[in-house]
């Protein structure tokens, strides 16, 4: 893909449209985290392949905004003569930083263009404040002009949507509808517009695989008093599956969704309509914004509140999925070490492909994100999703393996192990042991963090971050959060574990989330260790229980850096762990 050519075409388009700025998004009309790279406008313009991070294009400059996971990757993948990488810190988000940069760069009466189907209503409200303050004009485009300029066409996916059984979901779709409808009644909402794909998958017990690294499917939904209508491609939802649903579920073609939305404007004016401004795109909001009914914004809907608290059946299934992921990771580590000991040449690409094949052998329906298989200095790239076929893994260097998958129930797994390549033939340097053990010490304290009714992700992050950064050489950075929620989405939110206000929400029993500190140096490499956990309620109170059971690498542990309590815990964990 010729990124410079596409950029020049965009600037010609901007001149024709009298635009001074154009916001380039990395998402789709569903505001998905992962989309096909071939359909990613941000990639087409900048060459950056990360899952998140948007850009501003002016007639002279391109500014790409990325969080700490992508600082190094964005620098490596973009042409510095064309793109300026803005490395966003932990105290804000790329989307906020982008809006702030527009405020800095823009002058009165300048005009900004953006795609209304690819920006959330919440982010538009922040933009609108800048428009007002700076007297800016703006132009909304329903269709992304970059896709046309780059001759990019969406690929039709031929695949079926499946229904997951109750022994995995814990509740039937009808039972979920009744419980969720009661919750909306309690807060006085008559109609709720669902634009979050995970919520639609959750309430319907339906799963698909048409979206990369997701078990959701393309759909919209409207929850009424007595029913929920799901709008999707009905050719993918077979009749026998639709017959599994009760009277409260209707299915319609996706192209009738906008008509139903507009009917809300024409209908009675005594209803209260709810929506989530963070997940609904601006174009959808425009269809009902002029309704006479009362509009209520919910940053977290009752559906998400129910979805993030797993029931017993979901937890048991997720534990089984993590057991399979442990098997994959341990088989992958053993395979690599044995082949290196035999003298075989194994590239990063070979290794990533082997991990994918092992997931298939364990019955995975798909990956929950692209396999990260980094070695040597590449371990410093937090989300290293393009393994090099020419980079061969050497005995004695670090390998970082971060992987996960979806199995029958459509719940994600996610875990990371950094290990010394070569097994018994390898010998770790003192620096490798020091960095590894420091990260491990932080993980141990995160896994054993005291939790009560007031504990938040912010609290755990504070403990972990203090340990991992204490007396650490300034060349090593920990520029991402300690963890994230895990469920139908591999990055479920809430909860979050980080240093920002977004992580100051309480953690509850049966939530699932990761604990994954790391240390990274551009010149040396990096170490990350990740366990996915849940919170359980015991007679003596709440405690963290790990779902991940893979061992930590004994070749890299300096026990002199651990206190007695940490050593006792670690030895017990290693004894019970897989590997």
Backbone angles phi, psi at 422, to 5 degrees: 110, -10
**Has residue 233 been placed in a domain?**
yes
* 440 lies in the same domain as 296: no
pLDDT band (50, 70, 90) for residue 145: very high
User: How many whole angstroms separate alpha carbon 379 and alpha carbon 516?
Assistant: 14
pLDDT of residue 355: 99
CATH code for position 333: 3.90.230.10
pLDDT band (50, 70, 90) for residue 28: very high
For 425-443, give one letter per residue: b (16+ CB within 10 A) or e: ebebeeebbbbbbbbbbbb
Helix axes 197-204, 173-186, angle to 10 degrees: 120
Mean pLDDT of 327-335: 98
Instruction: Give, in order, the Cα–Cα distances in Å from 381 to each of 36, 72, 77, 79, 517.
Output: 21, 6, 12, 18, 14
Indicate the residue among 245, 272, 302 that finishes a domain: 302
Mean pLDDT of 298-313: 97
| Cis amide linkage into residue 135, ω under 30° from 0 | no
Q: What letter would DSSP give residue 317?
A: H
* 481 lies in the same domain as 430: yes
* 60 lies in the same domain as 207: no
Q: Is the pLDDT of residue 565 over 90?
A: yes
pLDDT of residue 423: 84
* 298 lies in the same domain as 317: no
Helix axes 564-576, 430-447, angle to 10 degrees: 90
* 368 lies in the same domain as 459: yes
pLDDT of residue 32: 94
Domain hosting 418: range is 312-576
Question: Which of 535, 550, 578 minimizes the C-alpha distance to 315?
Answer: 535
pLDDT of residue 578: 85
CB-based contact 401:332 (threshold 8 Å): yes
Taking the CA atoms of residue 415, residue 420, residue 425 and residue 430 in that order, the dihedral angle to the nearest 10 degrees is: -150
pLDDT of residue 154: 73
pLDDT of residue 292: 86
* 275 lies in the same domain as 369: no
**Has residue 154 been placed in a domain?**
no
**Has residue 458 been placed in a domain?**
yes
Q: Is the pLDDT of residue 152 over 90?
A: no
The CA angle 196-198-201, to the nearest 5 degrees, is 115
Chain-centroid distance of CA 81 in Å reads 30
| Per-residue pLDDT tens over the stretch 38-87 | 889 999 999 999 999 999 999 999 999 999 999 999 999 999 999 999 99
Please name the residues in contact with 205: beta carbons below 8 A apart, sequence gap of 6 or more.
163, 164, 166, 169, 172, 173, 176
Instruction: Give, in order, the Cα–Cα distances in Å from 432 to each of 12, 56, 382, 557.
Output: 51, 39, 17, 9
The DSSP line for 402-414 is EE-EE-TT--B--
Please name the residues in contact with 3: beta carbons below 8 A apart, sequence gap of 6 or more.
44, 45, 46, 47, 79, 82
Mean pLDDT of 372-401: 97
CB atoms within 10 A of CB 174: 15
Question: Which of 22, 285, 9 minimizes the C-alpha distance to 139?
Answer: 22
* 179 lies in the same domain as 143: no
* 245 lies in the same domain as 369: no
CB-based contact 505:495 (threshold 8 Å): yes
pLDDT of residue 156: 67
| Cis amide linkage into residue 495, ω under 30° from 0 | yes
| Per-residue pLDDT tens over the stretch 153-165 | 777 666 789 999 9
User: How many whole angstroms separate alpha carbon 136 and alpha carbon 101?
Assistant: 14
pLDDT of residue 246: 86
**Has residue 515 been placed in a domain?**
yes
Indicate the residue among 242, 268, 302 that finishes a domain: 302
CB atoms within 10 A of CB 18: 11
CB-based contact 423:338 (threshold 8 Å): yes
**Has residue 377 been placed in a domain?**
yes
User: How many whole angstroms separate alpha carbon 579 and alpha carbon 575?
Assistant: 10
| Per-residue pLDDT tens over the stretch 391-422 | 999 999 999 999 999 999 999 999 999 999 99
Query: 3-class SS at 154?
Result: coil
**Has residue 156 been placed in a domain?**
no
* 229 lies in the same domain as 271: yes
Q: Is the pLDDT of residue 555 over 70?
A: yes
| Helix, strand, coil percent content, the chain, rounded in steps of 5 | 40, 20, 40
CB-based contact 250:260 (threshold 8 Å): no
* 333 lies in the same domain as 461: yes
* 407 lies in the same domain as 495: yes
CB-based contact 164:410 (threshold 8 Å): yes
CATH code for position 187: 3.40.350.10
The DSSP line for 210-268 is SSTT-S--S-EEEE-SS-EEEEE-GGGS-HHHHTTS-TTEEEEEGGGHHHHHHHHHHS-
Mean pLDDT of 552-571: 98
Give the chain's mean pLDDT. Answer: 96
Q: What's the number of domains the chain is made of? A: 3
Indicate the residue among 282, 302, 322 that finishes a domain: 302
**Is the alpha carbon torsion for 505, 506, 512, 516 positive or negative?**
positive
Instruction: Give, in order, the Cα–Cα distances in Å from 379 to each of 181, 182, 369.
Output: 47, 48, 17
CB-based contact 519:552 (threshold 8 Å): no
pLDDT of residue 158: 66
Instruction: Give, in order, the Cα–Cα distances in Å from 490 to each of 367, 406, 477.
Output: 10, 9, 24
* 405 lies in the same domain as 487: yes
Query: 3-class SS at 363?
Result: coil
H or E element, residue 549: none
**Has residue 187 been placed in a domain?**
yes
**Has residue 225 been placed in a domain?**
yes
| Per-residue pLDDT tens over the stretch 189-227 | 999 999 999 999 999 999 999 899 999 999 999 999 999
Mean pLDDT of 465-487: 96
Strand 62-66 relative to strand 541-546: parallel, antiparallel, unpaired?
unpaired
């Amino acid at each position: 893909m010729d990124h410079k050519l596409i950029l020049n075409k965009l600037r010609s388009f901007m001149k024709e449209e009298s635009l001074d700025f154009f916001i380039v998004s990395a998402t789709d009309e569903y505001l998905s985290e992962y989309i096909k790279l071939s359909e990613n406008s941000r990639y087409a313009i900048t060459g950056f392949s990360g899952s998140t991070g948007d850009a501003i294009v002016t007639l002279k400059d391109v500014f790409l905004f990325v969080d700490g996971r992508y600082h190094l990757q964005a620098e490596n993948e973009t042409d510095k003569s064309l793109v300026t990488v803005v490395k966003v810190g932990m105290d804000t988000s790329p989307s906020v930083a982008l809006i702030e940069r527009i405020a800095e760069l823009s002058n009165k009466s300048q005009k900004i263009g953006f795609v209304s189907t690819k920006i959330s209503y919440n982010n538009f409200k922040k933009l609108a404040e800048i428009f007002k303050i700076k007297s800016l004009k703006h132009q909304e485009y329903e269709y992304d002009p970059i896709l046309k300029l780059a001759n990019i066409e969406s690929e039709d996916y031929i695949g079926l949507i499946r229904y997951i059984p109750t022994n995995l979901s814990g509740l039937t779709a009808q039972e979920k509808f009744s419980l969720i409808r009661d919750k909306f009644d309690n807060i006085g909402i008559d109609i709720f517009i669902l634009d979050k794909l995970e919520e639609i998958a959750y309430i319907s017990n339906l799963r698909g695989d048409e979206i990369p690294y997701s078990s959701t499917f393309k759909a919209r939904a409207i929850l009424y008093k007595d029913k929920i209508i799901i709008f999707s491609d009905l050719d993918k939802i077979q009749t026998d599956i639709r017959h599994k649903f009760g009277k409260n579920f209707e299915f319609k073609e996706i192209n009738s969704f906008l008509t139903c939305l507009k009917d809300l404007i024409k209908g009675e004016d005594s209803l209260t309509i709810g929506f989530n401004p963070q997940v609904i795109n601006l174009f959808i909001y425009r269809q009902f914004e002029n309704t006479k009914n009362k509009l209520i914004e919910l940053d977290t809907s009752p559906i998400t509140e129910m979805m993030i608290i797993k029931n017993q059946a979901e937890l048991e299934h997720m534990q089984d999925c993590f057991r399979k992921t442990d098997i994959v990771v341990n088989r992958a580590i053993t395979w690599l070490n044995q082949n290196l000991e035999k003298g075989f040449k194994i590239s990063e690409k070979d290794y990533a492909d082997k991990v994918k094949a092992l997931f298939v052998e364990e019955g995975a329906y798909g990956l929950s994100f692209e396999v990260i298989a980094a070695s040597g200095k590449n371990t410093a790239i937090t989300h290293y999703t393009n393994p090099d076929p020419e980079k061969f893994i050497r005995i004695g260097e670090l390998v970082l393996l971060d992987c996960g998958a979806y199995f029958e129930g459509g719940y994600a797994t996610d875990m990371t192990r950094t290990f010394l390549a070569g097994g018994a033939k390898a010998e770790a340097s003192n620096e490798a042991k020091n960095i590894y053990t420091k990260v491990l010490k932080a993980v141990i304290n995160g896994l054993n963090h005291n939790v009560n009714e007031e504990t938040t992700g912010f609290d755990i992050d504070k403990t972990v971050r203090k340990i991992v950064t204490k007396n650490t050489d300034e060349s090593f950075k920990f520029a991402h959060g300690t963890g994230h929620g895990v469920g139908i989405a591999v990055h479920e939110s809430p909860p979050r574990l980080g240093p920002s206000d977004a992580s100051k929400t309480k953690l509850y029993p049966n939530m699932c989330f990761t604990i994954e500190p790391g240390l990274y140096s551009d010149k040396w490499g990096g170490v990350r260790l990740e366990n996915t956990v849940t919170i359980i309620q015991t007679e003596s109170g709440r405690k963290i229980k790990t779902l991940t059971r893979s061992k930590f690498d004994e070749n890299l542990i300096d026990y002199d850096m651990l206190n007695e309590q940490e050593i006792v815990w670690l030895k017990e964990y290693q004894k019970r762990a897989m590997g």
